[in-house]
């Protein structure tokens, strides 16, 4: 039986794709960098700054720390204003309620703190999390395991006793690197086949599959 569950946010608990893409596109275009939506979608989960860096490189544009910080601030500000249009995926509240009080629960996301805090409060799920780690608290974005290892440390739980719930290949890689069990859910931009290639312990289509998820988490194996 696991002692803690660590959830990703974007594409796992909440359908944030539209807001993420819109905010990146507006901020990047104001900086003169034009990429297609898919370029951004396939990088959801690696963090704001890393996505901006890769976009500038795709556009063959030079940049420095000041430019990077400016575009990142603009992107975050835009996204904060779009949180009302975000919806939780079906089954999220029911799953969190089933876990609440039975084990430690963390949120480990590459979204920025301003966006995360506003979103959790608006959607009424902030009370479920014992620990929330955002991109602002880590140095290395996913697929580096830092965000998951920090979550486990904050909860006082060993990595081997944690189960990660993720929708991206970056997140699955990070979870396995952290020596944690991983449930991959194909509710984001990655297909079940793509997720399976990263060898998670389980792949599901939706968090509606609550009994299957709980069966894995509470398993004594």
Q: What is the pLDDT of residues 74-110, one digit of tens each?
A: 999 999 999 999 999 999 999 999 999 999 999 999 9
- The full length of the chain comes to 221
What number does CATH give the domain 4-15+86-217?
A: 3.40.50.1000
Banded pLDDT at 130 (limits 50, 70, 90): very high
Percent of the chain with pLDDT over 70: 99
Tell me: the pLDDT tens digits for 191-205? 999 999 999 999 999
Tell me: the pLDDT tens digits for 31-56? 999 999 999 999 999 999 999 999 99
Pairing of strands 87-88, 14-15: antiparallel
Give the chain's radius of gyration (CA, Å): 17
What is the per-residue pLDDT for 49? 96
What is the per-residue pLDDT for 213? 98
Average pLDDT, the chain: 97
CB-based contact 21:79 (threshold 8 Å): no
Q: Flag whether pLDDT at 220 surpasses 90.
A: no
At 112, list the tokens: 């920025």
What is the per-residue pLDDT for 106? 98
* Mean pLDDT across 52-75: 97
Q: Flag whether pLDDT at 221 surpasses 90.
A: no
What is the per-residue pLDDT for 152? 98
* Separation CA 7–CA 199 (nearest Å): 18
What residues does each domain of the chain span?
A: 4-15+86-217, 17-83
- Classify domain 17-83 at the CATH topology level: DNA polymerase; domain 1 (1.10.150)
pTM over 0.85: yes
CB-based contact 4:107 (threshold 8 Å): no
């Amino acid at each position: 039986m696991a002692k803690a569950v660590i959830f990703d946010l974007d594409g796992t608990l909440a359908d944030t794709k539209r807001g993420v893409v819109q905010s990146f596109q507006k901020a990047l275009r104001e900086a003169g960098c034009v990429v297609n939506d898919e370029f951004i979608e396939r990088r959801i989960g690696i963090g704001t700054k890393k996505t901006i860096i890769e976009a500038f490189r795709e556009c063959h544009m030079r940049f420095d720390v000041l430019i990077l910080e400016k575009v990142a601030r603009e992107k975050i500000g835009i996204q904060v204003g779009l949180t009302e249009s975000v919806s939780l995926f079906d089954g999220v509240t029911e799953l969190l309620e089933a876990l609440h009080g039975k084990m430690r629960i963390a949120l480990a996301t590459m979204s920025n703190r301003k966006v995360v805090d506003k979103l959790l409060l608006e959607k009424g799920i902030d009370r479920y999390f014992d620990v929330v780690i955002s991109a602002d608290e880590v140095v290395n974005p996913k697929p580096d395991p830092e965000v998951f290892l920090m979550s486990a440390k904050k909860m006082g739980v060993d990595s081997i006793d944690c189960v990660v719930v993720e929708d991206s290949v970056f997140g699955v890689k990070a979870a396995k690197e952290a020596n944690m069990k991983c449930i991959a859910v194909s509710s984001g931009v990655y297909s079940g086949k793509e997720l399976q290639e990263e060898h998670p312990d389980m792949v599901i289509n939706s968090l509606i599959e609550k009994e299957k998820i709980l069966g894995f988490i509470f398993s004594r194996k």
